[in-house]
Amino acid sequence: MSYDEQLKQLEQIVSEIESGQLSIDQLAAKVKTATKLLADCRKQLTKVETEVTKILKPE
């Protein structure tokens, strides 16, 4: 899944949580999914940061 797709999914989860309409079981599942999405996004951002740093680093 692309970074943008993950971010959109995270935004949807936040919206659902903020609505207050989720049951406890649904909330737990959404938080678990959001945690995984956040970890994946962080990995992608770190990878891109490393690549950009290598490109910009003078040799």
Each residue of 13-48: pLDDT tens digit? 999 999 999 999 999 999 999 999 999 999 999 999
- For the entire predicted model, the pTM comes to 0.81
Q: pLDDT confidence of 57, banded at 50, 70, 90? A: confident
Distance CA 31, CA 50 (A): 28
> For the chain, which residues make up each domain, given as ranges?
3-56
Q: Which two tokens stand for residue 42?
A: 């962080």
* Dihedral over Cα of 26, 33, 2, 7: its sign: positive
Query: For residues 10 and 38, is the Cβ–Cβ distance under 8 A?
Result: yes
